[in-house]
Structure 1
Amino acid sequence: MTLSLFSQFSSPSLLGVPLIIAALTLPWLFFPAPSTRWLGNRTVTLHEWLVARFTNQLFLPLSTNSHKWAPLFAALMVFLFSINILGLLPYTFTPTTQLSLNLGLAIPLWLSTVLIGLRNQPTHTFGHFLPEGTPSPLIPVLIIIESISLVIRPLALGVRLTANLTAGHLLIHLVSSAVFTLLPSMTSVAILTAILLFLLTILEVAVAMIQAYVFVLLLSLYLQENC
């Protein structure tokens, strides 16, 4: 039973070719392509407006030097958002349930923010490890604690995204299995469970959108500390 529950998160393959490649490239096909006309259609206009609003909200508290990161963060947010939503469809695979993929996104971006801080303002960056006025006996302990908290940030980013999506998919799988099991013998209970499943699916859609936003928001906060 445990293996069947978690088998949905194993990367599928067809003729030896991992289908995670198709799952990563497929969302880009659904994005509306910009046209050369002065005014695009409603889909393109709505897409551009949503991306602009999210980007403006992300970079509002950041300095002007950080605004060059806006295209990267906007593309990452739209990418994660589309992958999470498409993964809720039946007979699909969600790449963001793989911790390796999430860490592969989190570690390079987090490391880039740290390196930018070390290059642009090294004194301020190293100042985070030891606050001013710290008693001498606590200096080694604080340095170790701050170093661990800094290194654990990309791990927390990847684990947060993986755990939230995995938990939601497991709940949907368990509740849907209960609906099919109860339908022949207890129809009324199965209908109530199906209503719960519908509400849970709506919640999971909200979680998929929020987790993509939170992932990029935390990266922008890390960038704010170093720029």
Structure 2
Amino acid sequence: MNLSFFDQFSSPTILGLPLIMVAMFLPWALIPNPTSKWMTNRLSTLQIWLVHKFIKQLMLPLNTSGHKWSLMFVSLMVFIMTLNILGMLPYIFTPTTQLSLNLGLAIPLWLSTVLVGLRNQPTSTLGHLLPEGTPNPLIPILIIIETMSLFIRPLALGVRLTANLTAGHLLIQLISTAVMVLTPVLPTASIIIMLVLFLLTLLEIAVALIQAYVFVLLLSLYLQENT
């Protein structure tokens, strides 16, 4: 019974072929394409306005050299956000609940920010491993600790996104199962639990949006340290 709750996180297959690639390419088919007309529709106008607001907020603390990352950050946030929202629909697999996918996004992007810092300003980048004014006996220990914290960053990015989405989906499934079991026995209690389930679903939608923003925001902060 408990293992069946985790079946929703296993990648669906047809004839032995995983369908995770279909789920990953689906969001791009839902995004409206820009038009060459002078007058745009309301949806594309709202999309452009939101993108401009997001870029302005995200690029504000970065130097001019880091602004070239804006297109990739916006595309990444829209991609993760769409995957998270689509995962709230019934019978739809959520690829962002897989730690392998999240680490596949986090590790290359984090590594690219570190390599940019080592190429452009190696002294400042390596200086982050040792706080200023550290006593001499503590220098080796602090360098080891800061190095470990540096390499834990991509793991924290992937685990944070995976854990939040997995916990939310499990909680929704547990509560919905309780509603189905209690409906013929205690209808009043099932109605109350159903109201809690509705509120939890709204909360999970907010978490899906916020986690996509947090993922990109932390990457921008890592880039800020290296530009």
TM-score higher than 0.5 here?
yes
Matches of residues 43-62 of structure 1 in structure 2 within 5 Å? 43-62=43-62
What is the one-letter code of the residue matched to 1:132?
A: E
TM-score using structure 2 length: 0.99
Aligned-pair CA distance for 1:130: 1.3
Distance 2:39 2:68 in 1: 26
In the alignment of these two chains, the number of paired residues is 227
The alignment yields a C-alpha RMSD, in angstroms, of: 0.7
Secondary structure, aligned partner of 2:116: helix
Residue 214 (structure 2) pairs with residue 214 (structure 1): yes
Cα displacement string for residues 18-58 of structure 1 (whole angstroms, at most 9, x for unaligned residues): 11111000111110011110121111111111122112111
Aligned-pair CA distance for 1:142: 0.3
Residue 179 (structure 2) pairs with residue 155 (structure 1): no
Q: Find runs of 4+ consecutive structure 1 residues off by over 6 angstroms.
A: none
Task: Give the corresponding residue for 1:10.
Answer: 10
Stretches of structure 2 that go unaligned for 5 or more consecutive residues are none
Cα displacement string for residues 165-223 of structure 1 (whole angstroms, at most 9, x for unaligned residues): 00000000000000000000100000000000000000000000000000000000000
Task: Give the corresponding residue for 1:174.
Answer: 174
What is the one-letter code of the residue matched to 1:190?
A: S
TM-score using structure 1 length: 0.99
Distance 1:142 1:7 in 2: 43
Task: Give the corresponding residue for 1:184.
Answer: 184
What is the one-letter code of the residue matched to 2:79?
A: F
What is the one-letter code of the residue matched to 1:27?
A: P
Distance 1:172 1:132 in 2: 47
Distance 1:134 1:197 in 2: 51
Distance 1:29 1:131 in 2: 47
Moved more, 45-54 or 73-82: 45-54
Secondary structure, aligned partner of 2:62: coil
What is the one-letter code of the residue matched to 2:194?
A: A
Moved more, 98-107 or 42-51: 42-51
Stretches of structure 1 that go unaligned for 5 or more consecutive residues are none
Distance 2:105 2:38 in 1: 35
Distance 1:204 1:142 in 2: 39
Secondary structure, aligned partner of 1:210: helix
Task: Give the corresponding residue for 2:42.
Answer: 42
Residue 119 (structure 2) pairs with residue 119 (structure 1): yes
Residue 28 (structure 2) pairs with residue 28 (structure 1): yes
What is the one-letter code of the residue matched to 2:81?
A: F
Distance 2:188 2:30 in 1: 39
Distance 1:57 1:37 in 2: 28
Secondary structure, aligned partner of 1:188: helix
Distance 2:204 2:97 in 1: 13
